[in-house]
Amino acid sequence: MAKPNALSSASLPYLLTAPGVILFFTMVLAPLLLTLLLSFYGFDSIAGIKAGFSLSNYWLVFSDEYFHSIFLRTFWVAGLTTLICILLGAPEAYVLSRMAKPWRSIFLIVILGPLLVSVVVRAFGWSMLLSANGLINSTLVWLGFAPFKLLYTTGAIVVALVHVMLPFMVIPVWTSLQRLDPTVAQAALSLNASPSTVLRRIVLPQVLPGILSGSLIVFGLSASAFAIPGLLGGRRLKVVATTVYDEFLGSLNWPLGASIAIILLLANLLIMLSYNRILERKYSRTLG
């Protein structure tokens, strides 16, 4: 038999997770810490980055009108995207859940499959559909209307973001629909409730956690989105992500870019935390 307990069972889990721990501490925690420190440094367009400790970057972001408009636009776009995703994604998940077996899997793959296609390809596809001589405008012209400016607008960003984020809403709503107990709905129907009442008073309350979960994911991802605003918003419509890119790779003002990135990270963490908090409160109410 093998050597008795060369690896004692107590240290086995730590040995197994060691590669991951080393990787994540050096490649996630350490860089984030470095970035946090970087955000406190100063910057001079001639002298470059100066080490130090100052809150001037954060002060600039919070007080300057330019950054206000960027953050406002980012959250407005993210909020609108989330709302549309709820209105389209939740009913779609419901329709999918009521499909017969072969169709259900097929359409699940059709709706969710684009997740596995690179975001560049999808953004480019939308820029082709929405451009001045793209498909939509060509159809409008052919029907006798004047072409619309569709590309490089906030609307273009929202449409493409909805396209990318829809699966992230469908998945959690689908998951909560799967956990639904069909006998409750059947009981309600047998008591003479109309299908719409069943939908409103039985299905909807139980699907709400899924909608909430999806909303937070969609909002967080939309607020951090880079490729779609970059390709479809043009140079004038900046969002947080493209602004970070400009500071880091354009102006080379790394400290300022770092501070905006940290703010974005904190916003995302806040969203995740609030979701956990809301869930806890909801369940503590129902469970007494």
Partner 1 sequence: MRNNGPVSLIFHALIVAFVLAPLLVVCLVAFTPEDTLSLPTHGVSLRWFKAIFEHPDFVQSFYNSLLLALLSATLSLCVALPAGLAIGRLSFAGRDFLNALFLSPLIIPTLVLGVALMRLFASMGVSGSFGWLVVAHVVVISPYVLRLVLAAVVGMDKSAEHAAQSLGAGPWTVFRRITLPMILPGITGGWLLAFINSFDELTMSIFVTTPATVTLPVRMYMYATESIDPMMASVSALMILITGVAMLILDRVYGLDKVLIGQQG
Q: Which of residues 11-40 bind partner 1 (CB under 8 A)?
A: 12-17, 19-21, 23-24, 27-28, 30-32, 34-35, 38
Q: Please name the residue that has the structure tokens 């060691």.
A: 18
Residue type, 270: L
Query: Is residue 127 a contact point for partner 1 (CB under 8 A)?
Result: yes
Closest CA to 240 of 74, 108, 125: 74
Element (H, E) at 48: strand 48-50
The only residue of 51, 55, 72, 110 in contact with partner 1, by rule CB under 8 A? 110
What residues are paired with 50 via a beta bridge?
Answer: 42
Gyration radius of the chain's alpha carbons = 24
Does position 119 interact with partner 1 (CB under 8 A)? The reply is yes
Per CB under 8 A, does 278 bind partner 1? no
Among the residue ranges 59-67, 75-83, 106-114, 277-285, the one whose residues contact partner 1 (CB under 8 A): 106-114
DSSP collapsed to 3 states, 145-159: CCCCCCCCCHHHHHH
Q: Which of 61, 121, 208, 219 binds partner 1 (CB under 8 A)?
A: 121
Distance CA 123, CA 157 (A): 9
Please give the residues from 177 up to 206 whose contact with partner 1 meets the rule CB under 8 A: 182, 195
Alpha-carbon distance 232 to 209, whole Å? 32
Q: Which two tokens stand for residue 37?
A: 């420190």
Q: Which of 55, 128, 184, 270 binds partner 1 (CB under 8 A)?
A: 128
Encoded one letter per residue, x for contact with partner 1 by CB under 8 A and - for no contact, window 208-247 reads -----x---x--xx--x-xx--xx---------x--xx--
Q: Which parts of 114-239 fold into alpha helices (H)?
A: 119-130, 135-142, 154-178, 182-190, 195-198, 204-223, 227-232
Q: Which of 83, 115, 188, 193 binds partner 1 (CB under 8 A)?
A: 115
Piece of the chain touching partner 1 by CB under 8 A; list 51-59, 122-130, 140-148, 279-287: 122-130
163 scored as a contact of partner 1 (CB under 8 A)? yes
Q: Does 124 bind partner 1 (CB under 8 A)?
A: yes
Among 85, 108, 202, 203, binds partner 1 (CB under 8 A): 108
